[in-house]
Amino acid sequence: MYKFFNDIQLREDLAEKPKLYIYFSSNACGHCKITKPKVMEFAEANQELVYLIDSREAKELQEQLNIYSYPSMVLIENNKLIKGGVGAGQIEQMIKDGKSN
C-alpha cells in the first residue's frame, strides 16, 4: 500500500507500524518519473507501506533524513533508519531486496 504525504498520518504510522518506506521525488526529475511507478508497484505487490513525498513537502523530515537529492528512499523499521538509497539504481536495489525479504 502506498500513501501520499500527510504529516499526522505519517507520525501515526511511524509509531504503529514496524516497517515502512519513504520515497522522496521531484516532479522536475526524470529519474523520479521512471522510478516512482516501480515504487508504487512494489508497495502494492508486496504489501509494503510506502509514503510518497514530493520534494516541496516535509522539508523538516527531509533535513532530518539528509535527503538532498531525488529520487531517494529510506527504510524505517521500529522507528529506526535501516537503509537509504539515492538514485534510480539504489532504489531499484532496495525494491529488489524488499521483495526477497
What mean pLDDT is predicted for residues 12-37? 95
CATH number of 2-100: 3.40.30.10
Q: How far apart are CA 98 and CA 71, in angstroms?
A: 17
Contact criterion met (CB below 8 Å) for 73 and 85 = yes
The pLDDT tens digits for 67-86 are 999 999 999 999 899 999 99
Estimate to the nearest angstrom the gap between the alpha carbon of 5 and the chain centroid: 10
The pLDDT, as a whole number, for residue 99 is: 81
Average pLDDT, the chain: 94
Domain edges within the chain: 2-100
Which H or E run includes 46?
none
